[in-house]
């Protein structure tokens, strides 16, 4: 409970309540917006990888950076992004998927983006990584759109 209150003071309280524990519509809406940003990105990229004709491009990328079993891994990554996007959007299985997506972004930075520089390259993956990591660390229940209550 103390941990939960600390989170609220840091994250929600700082935004809406000047250190007081914030409840009500605003914190929930803010959290929804934070989840929505990576959800849209991952849904779009997952869709493109699985169904939108970018499967070959993804396999080519994986072959270029020497990822073994490039074709099945490309399919898995597409599925992860699509399912992860849905999880971020709905709040169902939010934390495990947020953690997996954060890990994916860490690998993408390390294997692909790092040599390309920060500005215009791995800055975007870093934002996604940190947002997903934050959502993965969020106290159970509060990230979910299905949980309507933020208990006092």
Interacting residues with other proteins (CB under 8 A): 36, 40-41, 43-44, 47-48, 52, 56-57, 59-61, 63-65, 112, 115-117, 120
**49: which residues sit within 8 A by CB, 6+ positions away?**
55, 58, 74, 75, 77, 78, 81, 82
Q: Output 83 or 99, the one with its CB closest to other proteins.
A: 83
Q: Output 47 or 124, the one with its CB closest to other proteins.
A: 47
Euclidean distance between CA atoms 67 and 45, whole angstroms: 19
Euclidean distance between CA atoms 67 and 83, whole angstroms: 22
Euclidean distance between CA atoms 139 and 121, whole angstroms: 31
Euclidean distance between CA atoms 85 and 83, whole angstroms: 5
Q: Output 7 or 47, the one with its CB closest to other proteins.
A: 47
Please give the structure tokens belonging to residue 102: 């954060």
Q: Report the nearest approach of other proteins to the CB of residue 45 (Å).
A: 8
Euclidean distance between CA atoms 33 and 64, whole angstroms: 35
Q: Report the nearest approach of other proteins to the CB of residue 11 (Å).
A: 23
Q: Report the nearest approach of other proteins to the CB of residue 152 (Å).
A: 27
Q: Report the nearest approach of other proteins to the CB of residue 14 (Å).
A: 25
Q: Output 59 or 132, the one with its CB closest to other proteins.
A: 59
């Amino acid at each position: 409970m103390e941990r939960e209150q600390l989170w609220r003071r840091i994250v929600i309280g700082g935004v809406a309540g000047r250190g007081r524990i914030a409840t009500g519509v605003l914190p929930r809406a803010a959290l929804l917006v934070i989840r929505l940003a990576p959800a849209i990105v991952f849904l779009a990229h997952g869709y493109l990888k699985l169904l939108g004709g970018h499967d070959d491009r993804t396999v080519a990328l994986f072959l270029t950076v020497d990822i073994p079993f490039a074709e099945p891994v490309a399919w898995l990554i597409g599925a992860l992004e699509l399912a992860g996007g849905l999880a971020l959007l709905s709040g169902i299985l939010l934390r495990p998927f947020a953690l997996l997506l954060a890990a994916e972004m860490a690998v993408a930075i390390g294997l692909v983006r790092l040599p390309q520089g920060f500005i215009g390259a791995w800055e975007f993956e870093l934002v996604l990584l940190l947002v997903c990591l934050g959502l993965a660390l969020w106290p159970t229940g509060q990230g979910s759109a299905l949980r309507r209550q933020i208990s006092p």
